[in-house]
Amino acid sequence: MHAGSPGRPLPAEPSEWIMRFGAQLAPGAEVLDLACGMGRHARALAAQGCRVDAVDVDPGCAQYLAGIAGVRFRALELESGVWPFEPDRYDAIVVANYLYRPRLTELAQALRDGGTLIYETFASGNEQFGRPRNPDFLLSAFELAARFAPLMHVLAFEDGVVERPTPARIQRLCAIKTDSARLDRLRLPTWPRVNFPPFDSRGRP
C-alpha cells in the first residue's frame, strides 16, 4: 500500500470477496477495474502482477493511481455513448459498489474466453443501513446471478448482509466466461484449509 499525499485520503481496503477470487489471476493477466474510484482493487491486483485498466467517470480519481506500476487510469463515460471496451479484451473484470444495468451484457462480452468476472454491489434491503437507497442502484433478490447466468458460468454467488467494513446488504458473484461443453475442465480454486477443533463422543467441541 502506498502512502497518500498530504491532505489526500488513502483508498479503503480491498473487498475480501474480490481479492479471494482475484488472487487466482496469473501474473500478467489483463484486468479491467470498472468504476474504480480511488483504486483499492487496481492497486492490489497490480501488486500481484496483473496489468490493470482502472476506469472511472471522475478524472479526479487519477491522483490516487499516479505512479502505480501496472495500472493505467482512464477517465471514461460508462453510461452513455459508445461502450468503450471491445469484445474479448480482458482476462478479468472487477466491479465493486457500482451498478448500471443496461451495460451488463456488454460487460460480459468484454471478457476473453475463460475470463473471470468478480462483482460485488448493494442489494435491496440496504436502505436500513444507509446509502444507496435508490432502487436504480440496488439489486433485487438474486438479480446479479439471474442476469449473468445466461451469459456465463456462475462459479459462486452470495446474497445477504455483511458487517465489514460497515453493515450493508449486498450481492456478490464470481462467474467464468466459458461454454457448458468445457465445464468438465474447469478447475475450482483451492482455499486455505480451516482447522476446526476436535469433537468429543457427544459431538461437542
| Domain span at 99 | 16-180
pLDDT value, residue 164: 86
Q: For residues 32 and 9, which has the higher predicted lDDT (pLDDT)?
A: 32
Give the Cα separation of 65 and 45 in Å (integer).
Answer: 13
CATH for 82: 3.40.50.150
Is residue 156 one of the residues assigned to a domain?
A: yes
Is residue 2 one of the residues assigned to a domain?
A: no
| Paired strand residues for 51 | 30
Task: Assess whether pLDDT exceeds 70 at residue 200.
Answer: no
Is residue 64 one of the residues assigned to a domain?
A: yes
Is residue 54 one of the residues assigned to a domain?
A: yes
Quote the mean pLDDT of the chain: 88
Read off the pLDDT of residues 133-165 as tens digits, 9 standing for 90 and up. Answer: 999 999 999 999 999 999 999 999 999 999 988
How many other CB atoms are there within 10 angstroms of residue 72's CB atom? 13
pLDDT value, residue 8: 46
Domain count, the chain: 1
Q: For residues 185 and 80, which has the higher predicted lDDT (pLDDT)?
A: 80
Is residue 53 one of the residues assigned to a domain?
A: yes
Take residue 143 and report the three cell numbers written for it. 438479480
What share of the chain has pLDDT > 70, as a percent?
81
Q: For residues 66 and 181, which has the higher predicted lDDT (pLDDT)?
A: 66
Region 127-136 average pLDDT? 93
Is residue 110 one of the residues assigned to a domain?
A: yes
Task: Assess whether pLDDT exceeds 80 at residue 193.
Answer: no
Is residue 194 one of the residues assigned to a domain?
A: no
Take residue 188 and report the three cell numbers written for it. 475450482
Is residue 9 one of the residues assigned to a domain?
A: no
Phi, psi torsion values for 157, nearest 5 degrees: -150, 140
Read off the pLDDT of residues 46-69 as tens digits, 9 standing for 90 and up. Answer: 999 999 999 999 999 999 999 999
Model confidence at 3, pLDDT cuts 50, 70, 90, reads very low
What H or E segment, with its residue span, contains residue 75?
Answer: strand 71-75
Phi, psi torsion values for 107, nearest 5 degrees: -60, -45
Q: Given the C-alpha cell 459431538, which residue does it identify?
A: 203
